[in-house]
């Protein structure tokens, strides 16, 4: 009778603690930036289930402990040892079988979520994402346009094809849920996202990738299909490379290739020499040689970044930066540098 009373009281304590802690953890989840894509929904639902299991286990241990402290306190004048307990087969069976069942259930849910996250929509919009130290660029091969911000139509699947030109980076928009690493060496990784909420987000690099890792961010815009089509039209119309504007084209290529992440165009200090006024000046190289910054020097510096380094700078420019640039592209970039006086 007494045992039943202890059991009932602890059951009530554990249930109340579980409810309280579970609701608190749910409130924490509500404050996290989750839930702007179909994929984030799967992650969120798994997270909520895990948090409830955590709340229960914490309450189970904490509740028994708390109750024991008061109910089984040593009484005044009580000096003998407590009862000696030896094993309890039914209890041991329960606490072995139930957790195994829970772990298997979560493995099943995890597998199910992974499969659902990789559901392929054949009509998905393709976007090629390039990461480099330390910027992002996005290319829309179906439209022949590129951009520094990732613009996506809401409710349609996007197939992101991710690659890196130098070191390992990681694509992560917290509101979209999953993260995907981008690997160098020409390997392309894929990530499928179905954005569900129009709005502005931030893409962050989630892999320590060097000096400016923390600043390797890009804007993400999710908009209605109609707004997206308008944006594409605007991008197509403003592409200077398509209308023979060499300086404008060079500026765009410099932007898209990530040059401007390290080279300022206003004279301010950065990782690399500023481009303002550098054309046709003599610069002291790190080996003490004086070199004229002309077309030949710039072509070499873009094709083989380590060949001649301006005194006071380190060579951190990715050797593969020019892999996607044609000779014409490089001449356009040089025309842009020449225009910066």
Binding site for ligand CUA (CB under 6 A): 131, 134, 169, 205, 207-209, 213, 216
State in angstroms the smallest separation of the CB of 218 from ligand CUA. 11
Kindly tell me which of 113 and 255 has the beta carbon lying closer to ligand CUA: 255
Select 36 or 216, whichever has its Cβ closest to ligand CUA.
216
Report the nearest approach of ligand CUA to the CB of residue 14 (Å). 44
- Name the nearest CA neighbour of 156 among 198, 115, 128: 198
Least Å distance, CB 184 to ligand CUA, is 11
Specify the residue, 271 or 331, whose C-beta has the smaller distance to ligand CUA: 271
Q: State which residue, 21 or 131, has the beta carbon closest to ligand CUA.
A: 131
Phi, psi of 282 (to 5 degrees): -95, 130
Residue 62 vs 184, nearer CB to ligand CUA: 184
Nearer to ligand CUA by Cβ, of 14 and 262: the residue is 262
For residue 134, the minimal CB distance to ligand CUA (Å) is: 6
Return the half-sphere exposure (C-beta side, CA atoms, 13 A cut-off) of residue 51.
Answer: 18
As measured in angstroms, the least distance from the Cβ of 235 to ligand CUA is 25
Q: What is the 3-state secondary structure (H, E, C) of the chain?
A: CHHHHHHHHHHHHHHHHHHHHHHHHHHHHHHCCCCCEHHHHHHHHHHHHHHHHHHHHHHHHHHHHHHHHHHCCCCCCCCCCCCCCCCCHHHHHHHHHHHHHHHHHHHHHHHHHHHHHCCCCCCCEEEEEEEECCEEEEEECCCCEEECCEEEECCCCEEEEEEECCCCEEEECHHHCCEEEECCCCCCEEEEECECCCEEEEEEECCCCCCCHHHCEEEEEEECHHHHHHHHHHHHHCCHHHHCCHHHHHHHHHHHCCHHHCCCCCCCCCCCCCCCCCCCCEEEECCCCEEECCHHHHHHHHHCCCCCCECCCCCCCCCCHHHHCCHHHHHHHHHHHHHCC
Distances (CA, A) of 293 to 255, 285, 336: 21, 11, 14
Q: How far is the CB of 186 from ligand CUA (least distance, A)?
A: 18
User: Of 163 and 169, which has the nearer Cβ to ligand CUA?
Assistant: 169
Q: Cβ closer to ligand CUA: 154 or 167?
A: 167
- Least Å distance, CB 272 to ligand CUA, is 17
Count of residues for the chain?
341
Residue with Cβ nearer ligand CUA (132 or 279): 132
Query: Considering the complex, what minimum distance in angstroms separates the CB of residue 273 from ligand CUA?
Result: 22
At residue 209, φ and ψ (nearest 5 deg) are -130, 20
């Amino acid at each position: 009778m007494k045992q039943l009373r202890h059991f009932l009281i602890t059951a009530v304590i554990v249930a109340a603690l579980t409810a309280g802690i579970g609701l608190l953890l749910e409130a924490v989840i509500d404050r996290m930036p989750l839930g702007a894509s179909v994929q984030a929904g799967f992650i969120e639902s798994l997270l909520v289930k895990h948090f409830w299991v955590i709340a229960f286990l914490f309450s189970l241990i904490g509740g028994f402990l708390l109750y024991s402290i008061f109910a089984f306190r040593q009484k005044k004048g009580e000096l003998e040892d407590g009862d000696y307990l030896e094993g309890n087969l039914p209890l041991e069976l329960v606490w072995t079988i139930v957790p195994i069942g829970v772990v298997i259930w979560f493995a099943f849910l995890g597998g199910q979520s992974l499969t659902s996250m990789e559901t392929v929509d054949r009509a998905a919009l393709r976007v090629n994402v390039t990461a480099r130290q330390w910027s992002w660029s996005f290319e829309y091969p179906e439209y022949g346009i590129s951009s520094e911000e990732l613009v996506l139509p809401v409710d349609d699947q996007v197939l992101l094809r991710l690659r890196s030109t130098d070191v390992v980076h990681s694509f992560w928009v917290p509101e979209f849920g999953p993260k995907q690493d981008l690997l160098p060496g020409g390997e392309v990784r894929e990530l499928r996202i179905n954005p569900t909420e129009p709005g502005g987000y931030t893409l962050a690099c989630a892999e320590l990738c060097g000096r400016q890792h923390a600043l390797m961010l890009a804007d993400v815009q999710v908009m209605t299909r109609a707004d997206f089509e308008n944006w594409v039209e605007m991008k197509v119309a403003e592409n200077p490379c398509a209308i023979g504007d060499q300086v404008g084209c060079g500026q765009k290529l410099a932007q898209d290739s990530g040059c401007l992440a390290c080279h300022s165009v206003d004279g301010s200090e950065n990782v690399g020499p500023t481009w303002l006024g550098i054309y046709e000046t003599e610069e002291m190289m790190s080996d003490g040689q004086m070199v004229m910054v002309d077309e030949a020097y710039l072509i070499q510096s873009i094709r083989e970044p380590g060949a001649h380094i301006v005194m006071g700078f380190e060579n951190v420019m990715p050797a593969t930066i020019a892999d996607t640039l044609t000779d014409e592209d490089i001449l356009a970039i040089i025309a842009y540098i020449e225009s910066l006086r």
